[in-house]
Amino acid sequence: MHITFPQECPEYCGRDLVLAFPAVVNGARIQCAITAEALEDHFGAASLREDDLIGAFDVHRQAIEHAARRMLAEVGGKPVLLHSGYFRFCE
């Protein structure tokens, strides 16, 4: 499975309190997302504000994409949502 991540700014979804970011899996664009809770708990986001979440994502983008790559491989390239609990068990 070939997985890459376009270097695009993540998209904030205030209703769901997640940041969405794309992956390309075997040539198909797949949506990934990480919860605000995960960004606060594991990546140092100071608050649920969009700027704080994006700042934490940018600083820790490599680790977040690594986790997304592992989860994408586990679920066969379907869309993924990274919760705080996922990072507790994979650290």
Quickly count: other Cβ atoms within 10 Å of residue 28's Cβ.
8
How far apart CA 35 and CA 2 sit, in angstroms, is 24
pLDDT number for residue 43: 96
- pLDDT attached to residue 89: 77
Average pLDDT over residues 81-88: 91
Which of the four CATH numbers 2.20.28.10, 3.30.420.40, 3.55.50.30, 3.30.160.140 does domain 3-85 have? 3.30.160.140
pLDDT band at 73 (very low <50, low <70, confident <90, very high): very high
Task: Please state which of the ranges 49-53, 79-83, 84-88 shows the lowest mean pLDDT.
Answer: 84-88
Give the pLDDT confidence of 7-62 residue by residue, as tens digits. 999 999 999 999 999 999 999 999 999 999 999 999 999 999 999 999 999 999 99
User: Structure tokens of 76?
Assistant: 């066969």
Among the listed residues 86, 55, 56, the one whose alpha carbon sits nearest the alpha carbon of residue 69: 86
User: What pLDDT does 88 receive?
Assistant: 81
Distance, in Å, from the CA atom of 74 to the CA atom of 53, rounded to the nearest integer, reads 26
How far is residue 12 from each of residues 2, 8, 16, 58, measured CA to CA in Å? 26, 12, 9, 13
- For residue 91, pLDDT beyond 70: no
Instruction: Give residue 80's pLDDT band: very low, low, confident or very high (50, 70, 90).
Output: very high
